[in-house]
Structure 1
């Protein structure tokens, strides 16, 4: 897999997590621990994307 393809894949996962977090936070009985874990996953993906983008420049 090329770096660009990996960046796209990670970007898709990042957007999906963003949508999941949005849905989770709109429920009256929001599980704050789950939201925190999702946000950490999203942050890790963003860090991976940033690192890979740095390799392409």
Structure 2
């Protein structure tokens, strides 16, 4: 019988280290989000396909930032 992944024992978490890693990743993503925003503003009306691709990437980055912030908040409690 196969065991589910969740049934395996987990290594103890290091909340302070995890939180620092999450904060660093959030900061990186916020920088990327700002860079994408700047690039999108400069490209307006030039290449619609590329513009849509950049906007889609910007939304994915924003979603990832929000998910990481939620994870950071839940780890704090």
The structure with higher relative contact order (CA 8 Å, sep 6+) is: 1
Q: Larger radius of gyration, structure 1 or 2?
A: 2
Please, what TM-score do these two structures have when normalized by structure 2? Answer: 0.67
Q: 1:33 deviation in Å?
A: 0.5
> What are the ranges of 5 or more consecutive residues in structure 1 without an aligned counterpart?
none
CA distance in 1, matches of 2:54, 2:66: 18
Stretches of 4+ aligned residues off by more than 3 angstroms: none
2:22 counterpart of 1:3:
yes
Q: 1:37 deviation in Å?
A: 0.2
Q: Aligned ranges for residues 14-53 of structure 1 at < 5 Å?
A: 14-25=33-44, 30-53=46-69
CA RMSD of aligned residues (A): 1.2
Correspondence for 2:6: none
Please, what TM-score do these two structures have when normalized by structure 1? Answer: 0.90
> What are the ranges of 5 or more consecutive residues in structure 2 without an aligned counterpart?
1-19
* Structure with a larger share of its residues in helix: 1
CA distance in 1, matches of 2:57, 2:34: 11
Q: 1:55 deviation in Å?
A: 0.6
